[in-house]
Structure 1
């Protein structure tokens, strides 16, 4: 719990500074797409529980992220957080967004428009620092590997890391588009 280290930025395909931003997210091969869809099927059956575990670990390790949530920003206790309807609701939304991405991996336009909406809402409406997406991705990969060890082998984890890198690329692209200047925040 206490001493969790986020993976090195280069592991998540994250670039420092706008000038280093790659032209596009690295595309997934057909095999990689199948691996994602296959493993996600097992996760999505338990989507709310998984989503709640991910968010609780995220907020416990990175308490500053709670500032965006009125209902549980002062909660310290994970069990109390787990009972928060606002947290459960957000967990469902996160899992549904990923589900939409996974279901539409064959359709890059759709993926990019879904993630642009997510990015814009978090930038304009919620004013969330984009680095939190990077952190949340790595917490999610960690929870998936722990909760589904039989499916999340080293190879599968690498493919998911690639997907999460692409998600982050699209989301931060939306931040840049709306004129957010701190995309390359090194505050992690």
Structure 2
């Protein structure tokens, strides 16, 4: 029993020393120790590459999970809203350029594009805790879209549609929406790096 007590005391003292070393600015309590350990660090420290905190990443991932659970239906709805709001963007989609909305879901090429879109977003969301990996994924996305002559404004159109859809369908509150805004800005920064390069070639 005494051995167990000494071990427990040592673990608590070690945790206290670790917290002191990282210079936590708020008062250290048992609750903050547990929170710190659960988050894997201070949940509100901003990652210098992504601009996101652990708490914001968690909010984005949690709100994305139900969307991806029905990815084809939600991806199709997203693109329908995109084309309604910005009909000129249909020109980039040869497979449905002259089709009506009702025909989209019957088109296998369109369905493949929806799957590709939602899978790309899912990869980017699930790897937000590895911003260097996400940056590389977005660079590749920028290259492929640059070759198709897609411009920055088209990406901003899509962001506008995503935000409106999330507000309407998911009823997201302000902090989660703000986290999504920062996430998309991080993605776009790296998409635009290679999108611009593709334009210059």
Structure 2-normalised TM-score?
Answer: 0.70
Is the contact between residue 124 and residue 137 of structure 2 (CA under 8 Å) also seen in structure 1?
Answer: yes
How far apart are residue 160 of structure 1 and its match?
A: 0.7
**1:42-61 alignment, distance < 5 Å:** 42-61=66-85
The answer on 1:90 being equivalent to 2:131 is no
The aligned counterpart of 2:20 is none
Q: Answer whether contact 2:149 2:199 (CA < 8 A) is retained.
A: no
The alpha-carbon distance between structure 1 residues 25 and 82, as it changes in their structure 2 partners (threshold 3 A), is: farther
Supply the distance in 2 between the matched residues of 1:110 and 1:119 (Cα, whole angstroms): 14
* 2:160 corresponds to: 138
Are residues 1:153 and 2:173 paired? yes
Structure with max Cα Rg: 2
1:81 CA displacement = 2.7
Q: Displacement, 1:93?
A: 1.0
Higher helix share: 2
Query: How far is the alpha carbon of 1:94 from its aligned partner?
Result: 1.1
Matches within 5 A, 1:25-174: 27-75=51-99, 77-124=100-147, 126-149=148-171, 152-174=172-194
Equivalent residue pairs, number: 154
Q: Which moved more, 1:86-95 or 1:96-105?
A: 86-95
Considering Cα pairs closer than 8 Å and 6+ residues apart, tell me whether 1 or 2 has the greater RCO.
Answer: 1
CA RMSD of aligned residues (A): 1.9
Mapped partners of 2:185, 2:126: distance in 1: 17
- SS of equivalent residue, structure 1 residue 105: coil
Shift, 1:155, TM fit: 1.8
